[in-house]
Amino acid sequence: MKDSKTNQLKKAMLLYAVTDRSWLLDNQTLYGECEKAIKGEITLLQLREKNLSTEDFIKEGIQIKELCHKNNIKLIINDDVDVMVALDADGLHIGQYDGNVKRIRDLIGPNKILGVSSQTVKESIKAISDGADYLGIGAVFCTSTKLDAVDVSFETLKAITKISKVPTCAIGGINLDNISDLESSGINGCAIVSAIFNGNDVEHSTRILREKCDDAFYKYNVGNHIYDLDGTLIDSLGIWENLASSYLKERNIVAKLNLEEEINNLSLDESSSYLKDNYGLLESKQEIKNQIVNKIYHLYSDSIKLKSGVRSYLESIYNKGITLSIASASSKSLVNAVLKNNNIDELFSVIKTEEEVGESKAKSSLIYDEILKELNVEKNDVVVFEDSYAAIKTLKSNDYYSIGVYDEHSIDDISDICDYFIKDFKEC
């Protein structure tokens, strides 16, 4: 399945290198340093030449374009439409005062990439309306490479990413020490100049920057999110903790001390079977399951609420065009009830339950695989949010990217086994 232009750009924003020949040493060439940056795994390259003649700019651009395309990297030209057209480069980046966005869009056509610098929400809305494919927002930190840059506060950066329907990157003074400060801003990545090109070992510097960007921004660059429900989106695990014991007590049966531990990682079907087989219940496994579901249905349809920060986060991600799905151990009726109760049911494209697929998340990745199949997407375009240690182990062993979500009812520390960990959704 081919990525859309927007989805490709989301990924390209991750580590966006912007050249600056002023950092070159006597034994270095811009071509050679760009080659090192590409080996270090940049995701996009902007050729920025403020002092070269058009002829020399084009001559240099021919070689660097060939280098980029040989390595599946797109080349963006800074501020010079004539050079971009002459090179047939992949796109153009302009500042607020470098030309009329709408006119330039008409000039370069719909298939070329057009990036626009912005510093305010108003500028961003206009740039998008006029045809920008992505926004470069900044300067977010103090920078020496653009002396007339106006700092953009974190609050403004976050406000822009929240309203933006196109990919975004931050620019200005970004380095290894401050990338993590931007990870909850909603940007898709960083455009970086000196932290890449100011050094003797560009490849090594770039590789470390790439690792930092992967950690900070991966979740904003995929097109699909899969969410566990109980303990991840909703605060419900406390209800389930004593449910089996309560069910047995109503039948005058004393539960074993380790009952909850025994069924902790079982699906609803498996838990019903466990109770049937170990406590001599007269009801069928299906009847046991139905009775358990009926026992808590009213809580899911009336009382259970979303965890802190969930609503605003889901709405923001949904508005950016990311497809949302649910992979739940709860029954379909409970899932539908709690999503509707919290007015978020329309945000989700696919809902799968362990009951439907016949396997628990603790033992198999089948539920996630089925969602991917229905969406017709690959694993590398998916991130999964989970609070369960066993489910995250399954994700890890099946090459899924996981974001662990803290839940106070969990007895296991998931922070070391997931790819990324959050205490709550307000961190996102």
> Residues with Cβ < 8 Å from 374, sequence gap 6 or more?
350, 352
The three-point CA angle 329-281-237 to 5° equals 30
Beta strand 323-328 pairing with 348-353: parallel
Give every strand in the sheet of 348-353, ordered side by side: 348-353, 323-328, 224-227, 382-386, 401-405, 420-422
Angle between helix axes 285-302 and 268-279 (nearest 10 degrees) is 130
Q: Does residue 87 contact residue 57 with C-beta atoms inside 8 Å?
A: no
Set 21, 39, 126, 146: catalytic member: 146
DSSP string, 260-328: HHHHTT--HHHHHHHHHHHH--SS-HHHHHHHHHHHHHHHHHHT--BPTTHHHHHHHHHHTT-EEEEEE
End-to-end CA distance of the chain: 28
What span, in angstroms and rounded, lies between the C-alpha atoms of 186 and 322?
13
Set 11, 36, 48, 352: catalytic member: 48
Set 117, 194, 272, 402: catalytic member: 117
Angle between helix axes 154-163 and 121-130 (nearest 10 degrees) is 30
DSSP string, 212-254: HHHHHHHHHHSSEEEE--BTTTBS-HHHHHTHHHHHHHTTT-P
* 48 included as an active-site residue: yes
* 117 included as an active-site residue: yes
* 194 included as an active-site residue: no
Q: Does residue 189 contact residue 221 with C-beta atoms inside 8 Å?
A: yes
Six-digit token string for 221: 């660059």
Which residues are designated catalytic? 48, 117, 146
